Structure 1
Amino acid sequence: MSNSSKNSDQPIITYSADSSTNTNSKWTNFKNSFKPARPLNNDLALDLEKNASDNLSSAFSQLHQNLIGLAGCVGSGLLVVSGNALANGGPGSVLIGWALVSSFLYCTMQALSELASCYPVSGSFFKYADKFVSRPASFASGLNYFLFWLVVLPLELVAASLCIQFWNSEINTVAWVAIFYVLIVGTNIFGGTAAFANTELVAAIIKLLGVIGFDILAIILICGGAGEEGYIGPKYWHNPGAFNHGFKGFTTVLISATYSLAGTELVGLTVCESSNNPRIALPRAIKQVFYRIIVFYMFTLTLIGFLVPSNSDKLGGSSSDATASPFVIAINNGGIKVLPSIFNVVVIISLLSIGNSAVYGFSRTALSLAESKLLPSFFAYVDQAGRPLGGIIFAAVFGLLSFVSASPKQAEVFAWLVALSALSTLFTWASCTTSHIRFRLAIQKQNRSLLEVPYLSKTGIWGSVYATICLVVVLCLQFWISLFPLGAKPNAGEFFKNYLGAVIWLACYLGYMVYARDWILLIPLDEIDLDSDRAETDADKLQQELHEEMEVLKLRPWYIRVYYYLF
């Protein structure tokens, strides 16, 4: 066979032969980077859908994963919405509520860590449900997560632009939306995974410094070391008190806490794009969740409860910008003039970071759904630079809704956008815990050994059972608080704004059953495939590697061993 006939059977990707100048070469490489990682033709389209996630860029180092795990979801939930929680439930309810939600979140992340160490796949949350629970549950959970990240970008863009008004800026809000939109979309389209990883690294460092700096200042203020009030101590715990609005107030705090911790699971999506072994990298990154819960939430919110009275007229209300942030209120109450503006910058960076994460999370979830033939193949397009362009472009187009901020109906539009994904976090976490339970039961049913599992959840199967029960209870409490809202009469519109996410999940679940005629509620345990998609297929080799790693660690100095245990 001649060379010409042989080559005619292969798809051809043309690169410019003109490399006479460095500029032309860079421009050519840039243009070619947007071409598909695998040629899009009729013969290979199916192969692309099956393997698109294999072409994702490996841009996440251990440092990136650690910091995303530590500070990745610090955003409006902690910095602004915690003010609503304080007003509704009081400082006592805030601490109990966040502690409770954090406890089952930790179990959820341990379950995710065990699953991802065995099966490091893109869009892992719903794929685990597909593998261990059922196809309808997988579709409903995946589409819920899809919608969650889709609406986050426009929401965070508008919130960030409103924070600019903290300085009484004369520039129209829409102009700031446009600036932030270009920054985020440009980073993801032209910078790709590496740009996302590096910008999140910088944002995480800024958020870390901001929150730790506030904690130090808060301790000084409480002890009377600054400001005009002198010693504050626990006076706000006595007057107006530790608890507001009884059990209903506590229930609203649970919902706020869940919202503030949403996105923690994003570190699991970075597994397939990590340059490190997922068996080692992901468990270490998820360890950071425990420290984030202690430092960022429990300790910081305790200090907030000492500094800001729960009956302050500045808390909550309809405001979603920095003026409603209990952090800014605490600094203002301390009589410090410059720091509120500095912390407002931290709030803006945090909001933009979450918006950036939204594009990343959405594009990977959409890619995974397309690979499973649950979305059009457009979302499975991965270019030569490892960017899932289909999902990024769709997120960018939907993000144009942020310009509704110019409309007098913006509040109503965004209230319904929030409703689309308000309960998504509960279903996402539940898909992880139920998949983990089914995974462990399948191992037991098929007489397999846990020695085959690279990383065992520290909370085990019972931790996942506890987390699943808690998630169901919170979902039921949300139904009650949606039906009988705090301080208001029952209202159909308010009910659907608060509970629309559950309705969508149920509609997707039943709709897929009817459409696909798939009536399987649970895959039989003995039919679950425990071998495909595994990262480690040789159990003996795995145990040898684990033993060698332990022996090497034993020879290291004691402080190195302590570091590896803690981090």
Structure 2
Amino acid sequence: MTDVQELSDWAPDWLQAITPQNRAGLQVPDQVEDSRLQTPLSQLSQSNHDRDDELKPPKITNITVMPSPNRMVKRKLQGIHLFMITVNGTLGIGLYWRGGQILELAGPLAALLAFLLVGLLSWAVMQCITEMLCIWPIPGALSVYVSEFVDVELGIAVGIAYWFSYSVGFGALIATLAAEFDFWTGTSGDKGIDGGIVYLLIPVILIAVNALDIEIYGLLEVVTGCLKVACLLAIGGVLIAVNVGAGKQGYIGTQYWASPKVYDRDAANDWGTAFLMCLSVAIYAYMGVEIVAASALESAPSARWTRKTSDERESQLAQTPNDSLIGNTVRFSAKYISLLATISYSLSGLLVSFDIPWYHCHLPRLSWVDSTANIDCSDVSDSIPANTTSAIVAIAVESGIPHLADVVNVFLVFTCLSCASTNLYVASRVLFGLTSRLDGGKGQPWHLRLLSWFGRTNRYRVPLRAMIFSAASFIWVPFLQLQGGTSSSTSIGMFIEILAQMSSVAVVIVWTCQVLAFIRYYHCIKRHKNVLEQQKIPQLSRDNVEDYSYRSHAQPVLAYVALAGCLFVLVVANGAYLWKGFHKFPFLSSYLFIVVFVAMWILLKVARGARWRHVDLSNPDKVVRKLRKLHDIRLAAS
């Protein structure tokens, strides 16, 4: 048996030294793929007469990879857990609030097309993320991909932006929850209910739920996810039933499609400009399709069964590395959640446009635009509360069905609660993924020691420190409404809406960087294909369907289309708010975070003394070491 060799250069202080007395763990051949014991490429590139020793059977070394337990999470989430966590994070309040805003802004055609086009963009982005995620389902995956294939400091900035989007999203959803309670308590709300229950008690309960063992939490996510899907189907049925009932009363909902390209003339000069605004609004609803990348660090191994006999399947399980099976667990959620969201949002937007006119008084409007010139309330039921801002609630009230609006609003409250819980889960896992591999030992800078403190878990392997910090960072935001109320037209309401919109901008930035990372990864493995095959680096041959976990469609053309689409939304669609005149609110909500993100990237470059250039992917030696390093991280994490 050979001596234990030195670990890879990425290994931090928590990856304990391996001693001869503790060798009962993992058996790894010296020269097999995925092993941190591989011979350097420079030695393998010698001529054949210098490599006779390679013909000998590989030596086996018994090693034990022993990360400290408080730096690890449990890998217990199955595919159904990952899928429902992603459902809970994606099918959120945007489904019920943003559809009405799009309808008011650009009419019924936009209510369908905006959700459909943004959904296709999210699908294209997820195709790129899924391909890398199935190979490397690792902690902090979205940050690591950008760091390894684009730029190290950019990857760090992406991780911070991704954490921000879900941490601030948690606070914004709690603020939205108060607005939904105001449906029953009145426009001004009840400060006792809002402050004591909504802003304080509910966040504490959600933190407690997220602190549960991951197996229990995953089960709760499955239950709430199933209920959320059932609620979605029920609301779809209600919208269809209301439309059919409306026809019996003498008018047909499709009459609202007689002029499908109407628009709010106070917000835009033409329908095209209004439609571009709708694309920006629709993005918020698709936040969460990439959540599976954040929860992958807790996914359990899952075999990919093919049409083989039971004995062959058992043999496949025995020979397939545990870490590669984890990629099979995340694949279904990563592939299909964007399609589910696209179908759900597009159909919901279409059904809403059949049941309520675009000029209805209680459709949510852009808070910074005075749209009173377009409002005609002569035919609106007096029973609709003045603070109603959800198109579906307004439709339920107008239907005349007793208590239907109350039931629908309960659905909205439940949706908001489950989405807030998942936002907190994602934020905590993103922060943990960013900090869990930091070296917080003696001699390290104080800020690294501080950040590494968040990369620890409790006795249940839950990143409680990261969770509490993520919740506390923006939980103060909803309390501002105690002074200014829940209306988005007040200065406090606008401030909260800016934060919520900034979270969606942050997600689009993350999407953009992921697509860029995939493009560079794709060309990298294509350029060095022969070298990678010669060195037998596993799971990186896109031509090998048995070895390659998932091959996305129409690449790299699809990736370039996705990159162009993300940049178009960030620059053009967000800028359309300013084409009718400059307004501080849309400018800040659309571009403030972009400025902050770029400034953060520059600051990281300066602080780390880094060079202004992409990661070098031209040198085959460096590429092989980089890919082995990613395999090492995957191996250690599993």
Give the TM-score category using the shorter length: 0.7 to 0.9
**Alignment-derived partner of residue 611 in structure 2:** 519
The answer to whether residue 481 in structure 2 is matched with residue 405 in structure 1 is yes
Would the aligned equivalents of 2:283 and 2:504 in 1 still touch at CA under 8 Å?
Answer: no
Q: Deviations over 1:70-106 (max 9, x none)?
A: 4531112111122111111212122222221111211
The answer to whether residue 273 in structure 2 is matched with residue 178 in structure 1 is no
Report how far residue 440 of structure 1 moved: 1.0
User: In 2, Cα distance between the equivalents of 1:310 and 1:116?
Assistant: 41
**Alignment-derived partner of residue 495 in structure 1:** 587
Would the aligned equivalents of 2:246 and 2:252 in 1 still touch at CA under 8 Å?
Answer: no
SS of alignment partner, residue 278 of structure 2: helix
Report how far residue 458 of structure 1 moved: 2.9
Equivalence map 1:240-251=2 (5 Å): 241=261, 245-251=270-276
Would the aligned equivalents of 1:159 and 1:321 in 2 still touch at CA under 8 Å?
Answer: no
**Alignment-derived partner of residue 185 in structure 2:** 168
Would the aligned equivalents of 1:107 and 1:459 in 2 still touch at CA under 8 Å?
Answer: no
The answer to whether residue 354 in structure 2 is matched with residue 306 in structure 1 is yes
User: In 2, Cα distance between the equivalents of 1:381 and 1:436?
Assistant: 30
Report how far residue 279 of structure 1 moved: 2.5
| 2:509 aligned residue (413, 427, 430) | 427
Would the aligned equivalents of 1:219 and 1:303 in 2 still touch at CA under 8 Å?
Answer: yes
**Alignment-derived partner of residue 110 in structure 2:** 93
**Alignment-derived partner of residue 387 in structure 1:** 462
Q: What code does the residue aligned with 2:512 have?
A: A
The answer to whether residue 363 in structure 2 is matched with residue 315 in structure 1 is yes
**Alignment-derived partner of residue 566 in structure 2:** 471
- Long gaps (5+) in structure 2: 1-11, 18-64, 265-269, 303-325, 368-384, 439-447, 485-490, 533-540
SS of alignment partner, residue 462 of structure 2: coil
Would the aligned equivalents of 2:110 and 2:261 in 1 still touch at CA under 8 Å?
Answer: no
Report how far residue 474 of structure 1 moved: 1.0
SS of alignment partner, residue 454 of structure 2: helix
User: In 2, Cα distance between the equivalents of 1:232 and 1:109?
Assistant: 39
Equivalence map 1:116-265=2 (5 Å): 116-168=133-185, 171-175=192-196, 176-189=198-211, 191-222=212-243, 224-225=244-245, 229-239=249-259, 241=261, 245-265=270-290
The answer to whether residue 84 in structure 2 is matched with residue 67 in structure 1 is yes
Q: 1:400 to 1:298 in 2, by over 3 A?
A: closer
Identity of aligned residues (%): 21
Farther off after superposition, 44-53 or 129-138:
44-53
SS of alignment partner, residue 627 of structure 2: coil
Would the aligned equivalents of 1:133 and 1:523 in 2 still touch at CA under 8 Å?
Answer: yes
Farther off after superposition, 448-457 or 307-316:
448-457
**Alignment-derived partner of residue 13 in structure 1:** none
**Alignment-derived partner of residue 379 in structure 2:** none
Q: How many residues align?
A: 492
Q: What code does the residue aligned with 1:383 have?
A: N
User: In 1, Cα distance between the equivalents of 2:424 and 2:103?
Assistant: 30
Q: Deviations over 1:284-343 (max 9, x none)?
A: 123332541354111121111111211111011378998211111222222222221111
User: In 2, Cα distance between the equivalents of 1:203 and 1:318?
Assistant: 31
The answer to whether residue 631 in structure 2 is matched with residue 534 in structure 1 is yes
TM-score by length of 2: 0.71
**Alignment-derived partner of residue 96 in structure 2:** 79
Q: Deviations over 1:356-389 (max 9, x none)?
A: 1121111111112224547711211112211112
User: In 1, Cα distance between the equivalents of 2:412 and 2:584?
Assistant: 34
Would the aligned equivalents of 2:502 and 2:593 in 1 still touch at CA under 8 Å?
Answer: yes
SS of alignment partner, residue 384 of structure 1: coil
SS of alignment partner, residue 96 of structure 1: helix
SS of alignment partner, residue 122 of structure 2: helix
Would the aligned equivalents of 1:80 and 1:322 in 2 still touch at CA under 8 Å?
Answer: no
User: In 2, Cα distance between the equivalents of 1:439 and 1:368?
Assistant: 21
User: In 1, Cα distance between the equivalents of 2:398 and 2:247?
Assistant: 8
Q: What code does the residue aligned with 2:400 have?
A: G
User: In 1, Cα distance between the equivalents of 2:78 and 2:289?
Assistant: 18
Would the aligned equivalents of 1:227 and 1:336 in 2 still touch at CA under 8 Å?
Answer: no
Report how far residue 163 of structure 1 moved: 0.9
**Alignment-derived partner of residue 506 in structure 1:** 598
Q: 1:379 to 1:49 in 2, by over 3 A?
A: farther
User: In 2, Cα distance between the equivalents of 1:121 and 1:385?
Assistant: 20
User: In 2, Cα distance between the equivalents of 1:428 and 1:372?
Assistant: 21
Report how far residue 426 of structure 1 moved: 0.8
Report how far residue 49 of structure 1 moved: 13
| 1:274 aligned residue (299, 312, 315) | 299
**Alignment-derived partner of residue 307 in structure 2:** none
Would the aligned equivalents of 2:355 and 2:395 in 1 still touch at CA under 8 Å?
Answer: yes
Q: Deviations over 1:486-516 (max 9, x none)?
A: 6xx3134541233111111111111111111
SS of alignment partner, residue 323 of structure 1: coil
SS of alignment partner, residue 631 of structure 2: coil
TM-score by length of 1: 0.80
User: In 2, Cα distance between the equivalents of 1:372 and 1:322?
Assistant: 48
Would the aligned equivalents of 1:228 and 1:334 in 2 still touch at CA under 8 Å?
Answer: no
Q: What code does the residue aligned with 2:630 have?
A: D
SS of alignment partner, residue 461 of structure 2: coil
Q: 1:50 to 1:323 in 2, by over 3 A?
A: farther
**Alignment-derived partner of residue 436 in structure 1:** 518
User: In 2, Cα distance between the equivalents of 1:73 and 1:112?
Assistant: 16
Report how far residue 65 of structure 1 moved: 2.0
**Alignment-derived partner of residue 352 in structure 1:** 417
Q: 1:78 to 1:51 in 2, by over 3 A?
A: farther
Q: What code does the residue aligned with 1:467 have?
A: A
Q: 1:46 to 1:522 in 2, by over 3 A?
A: farther
Choose 1 or 2 for highest CA Rg: 2
- Long gaps (5+) in structure 1: 1-41, 539-567
User: In 1, Cα distance between the equivalents of 2:585 and 2:389?
Assistant: 25
Farther off after superposition, 454-463 or 435-444:
454-463
User: In 2, Cα distance between the equivalents of 1:357 and 1:201?
Assistant: 12
Report how far residue 253 of structure 1 moved: 0.7
SS of alignment partner, residue 172 of structure 1: helix
| 1:335 aligned residue (400, 409, 417) | 400
Q: What code does the residue aligned with 2:210 have?
A: N
Would the aligned equivalents of 1:422 and 1:498 in 2 still touch at CA under 8 Å?
Answer: no
Would the aligned equivalents of 2:88 and 2:422 in 1 still touch at CA under 8 Å?
Answer: no
SS of alignment partner, residue 531 of structure 1: helix
**Alignment-derived partner of residue 24 in structure 1:** none
